[in-house]
Amino acid sequence: MKLLYIEPYYGDSHRNWIKQFKNYSAHDIDIIKLPGNKWKWRMHGGAISLAEQFIKQNKTYDLILCSDFLNLPVFKSITANYTSNIPFVMYFHENQIAYPWPSHDPDKKLERDFHYYYINQTSALVSDWSLFNSVYNKNSFLGGLEEYLQKMPDNQNMNTIRQIDKKSSILHLGCELKKFDMHKISQQNKIPNILWNHRWEYDKNPQLFFDSLFKIKKLNVDFNLIVLGEQFSRYPEIFDIAKKELSDEIIHWGYCESFEEYSKWLWKSDIIPVTSNQDFFGISIVEAVYCNSKPILPNNLAYPEIFDISKNKKIFYNNESDFFNQLHYEILNFHNENSFSNEIARFDWTNMIKHYDKTFSKLKEKFSEKS
């Protein structure tokens, strides 16, 4: 099957996902894209530039797949003469309704963030099908959409929620997990290595993470700290405070330039305490757990789904006090054996790709029958 992927924000997890899907898939996949920066402008204006790219390349496709950053109504209207018989499928890596905006963002202060909700809503409405990377992503989008529309003065179009729901399903992320095996390190740490491997952003709630470690240090409990993750020009101040306060515990601080270095630090880690306020899947956590870090997870977001809370209740916490107590306990009682790696390996592309290829083949057949 000939498939086109359209990505207004070709960076980070969006870029990695489609590159890996293209590499493992039996389908023939082309990509048209824009750089992964200036995300607001990509959502507003990206569709025009991408439509121009599409028309210039003069190719036909069996199915067009796009990310949730695309303003699909705009793209479809510009390319209508070329795409009227091609099914469109939207893949939601995230949704703007449930994504927590930082308080310093000017659009949030001026209550202009609603417009990005509307782009997601109308795009899902005009797509033939929507795929979400987790049940949480889908439910938070549809539930948040209801709350958003209720704020509108009239013509709220609440029926659109049901319309979107009827043509939506879940397709979990595929991850390249087995590539970590080539850098595996077997070691027995005398004291536990605590891991942070997320972006240095407010939505990952580094305040709770570091505040808890400050308290544990004051109890004279020994631990080491590994801080990885991408750092931006503007990041939470708590990172600078933690670098000073936990200088004796830090064994690595900062972004790893190579995959080999990143992998080795993951294999050296023992515990990954997760404090995020936002995660629609949790790739960095899946990677760490595959490398034998024991997770401590909030009982919300996508985590109960991805890590199957019905089987693993003990690794979940319900509030900040609960988090601290659980982290304290795990540091005092850590061990190097982990039973979650094999379980999380189901998300490796070698296990996911048949399901992916079958999903898109079935969607193509579904809409071919309609036409």
* DSSP code string of 108-174: HHTT-THHHHHHHHHHHHHSSEEEESSHHHHHHHHHHHHHHHTTSSS---THHHHHHHHTEEE-PPP
Listed by start position, the domains of the chain span: 2-174+349-370, 178-347
Domain 178-347: what homologous superfamily? Glycogen Phosphorylase B; (3.40.50.2000)
What pLDDT was estimated at residue 111?
A: 64
Please list the residues that pair with 298 across neighbouring strands.
Answer: 317
- Name the DSSP letter for residue 175: B
CA distance 176 to 306: 16
Query: Coil, strand or helix: which one is 82?
Result: helix
What pLDDT was estimated at residue 43?
A: 95
**Residue 4, H or E segment:** strand 2-10
What pLDDT was estimated at residue 153?
A: 86
What pLDDT was estimated at residue 234?
A: 86
Structure tokens at 370: 């309609």
Query: Coil, strand or helix: which one is 7?
Result: strand
What pLDDT was estimated at residue 156?
A: 86
Is residue 225 within 8 A of residue 246, CB to CB? The reply is: yes
CATH of 2-174+349-370, one of 3.40.50.2000, 1.20.140.10, 3.40.50.300, 3.30.1320.10: 3.40.50.2000
Q: How close are the terminal C-alpha atoms of the chain, in Å?
A: 17
Note down pLDDT in tens along the chain; length 371 residues: 999 999 999 998 999 999 999 999 999 999 999 999 999 999 999 999 999 999 999 999 999 999 999 999 999 999 999 999 999 999 999 999 988 776 667 776 666 567 899 999 999 999 999 999 999 999 999 999 998 888 888 888 899 999 999 999 999 999 999 999 999 988 888 999 999 999 999 999 999 999 999 999 999 999 999 999 988 888 999 999 999 999 999 999 999 999 999 999 999 999 999 999 999 999 999 999 999 999 999 999 999 999 999 999 999 999 999 999 999 999 999 875 667 999 999 999 999 999 999 999 999 999 887 65
What pLDDT was estimated at residue 85?
A: 94
Q: For the full predicted model, state whether its pTM sits above 0.85.
A: yes
CA distance 323 to 298: 8
Is residue 158 within 8 A of residue 305, CB to CB? The reply is: no
What pLDDT was estimated at residue 72?
A: 98
